[in-house]
Structure 1
Amino acid sequence: MTAIAFDRFELLHQIKVRGFASAHAVATGLGHADEDGVEAALRELESLGLLKYREGRVTGFSLTADGRSTHAELRDTALSAAQRATMTHAYEGFLGPNREFKTLTTDWQTRDETEDPAPLLDRLDDLHARVDALLVEAAHAQPRFAHYRRRFADARARLRAGDATAFARPMSESYHDVWMELHEDFVSSLGHERTEADE
């Protein structure tokens, strides 16, 4: 399988949202089971000078200067006026829960480990339901947003099963990982700069 089977914007966008990503992470974001195919597609974009591959303690792809400009050009035509309106509405709806999630994350990370986590998980359940509804809306404009629903559900299920690291452990598909990626996806999709409302 080659890059022809993948949308170039979607591949570049997965890297843009993460800043740096492995083929596995891109495949996860795309909801695509063929990781080898994704790897081949990314290597093709690398050969075109749009991506750079780095090896070391962490390996993966990042956008080159040409990759960033190509992503911006493709992004500007990726949404129709109606799709942009839908995405903007979903994004604006996300900002309130985003502020609440930041507070919840702080409360989770500073809690006494002997404390019953149930009240915090109940707060997460409320946020989960509200953001899930926004993802349904956003997916009407950009289908990739539907994949966040499964990823959030997976992290939440791990939390409910007693895996405390599933809340905020970095680079582990934790709930916080997926949330931060979703936030950046909204911002990058709409070509926005972050404001005080985002933080």
Structure 2
Amino acid sequence: MDLPPAPEDLDFAACERARYARDPAWDGVIFIGVRSTGIYCRPVCPARQPLSRNVRYYRSAAAAEAAGHRPCLRCRPETAPFSPAWNGTRSTVGRALRLIEAGALDTGTVAALAERLGLGPRHLTRLFERHLGASPAAVARTRRVQRAKRLIDTTHLTMTEIAAQAGFASLRSFNAAFRAAYRCAPTDLRRKERGGLCPPRPPPTRGQATPGPA
């Protein structure tokens, strides 16, 4: 069995083997973006395997979303385990992630977070880009949406209550972030059965790339 690589050294061939094997050791270590569908998945996703030419690998859910992918509703990336690649020598990033999970960037700034860690905001951003492929702000935004998605799935809270508990400053910002991630409103997603799909992605606006064939 291949050991998961350090996230800054993702190897396409090794990631491919993990994907086809649906290797749980890689769950939370990589995320799989599929260009033909615009969706990103965990390596353990039970969906039909996409063609390799349509696949891109990402170090984090935030990086996949920054590339324009929306989360899979079957494997639910928001439930992926805490990546082991964030531990060990990446302790600073790991500590930052724990603080973000606790809400450090829900009301605070990246500069304040960096100060708590004893380093500058630029250096913290470089570490995040190196290990996760996304900025601290992007990671925090994705984590808020993931918290909200779990609350939608497991509670009967109102959307206003979910927005507050997930760390959003307002219902409006929650709706905007959720739509950006899932391409549909949180109320629409709640009404759908588990495993359902959001409406198809809208046609790309001028200047955006069109997904390739499956």
TM-score, normalised relative to structure 2 = 0.27
Give the number of the structure whose residues are more often helix, by fraction. Answer: 1
TM-score, normalised relative to structure 1 = 0.29
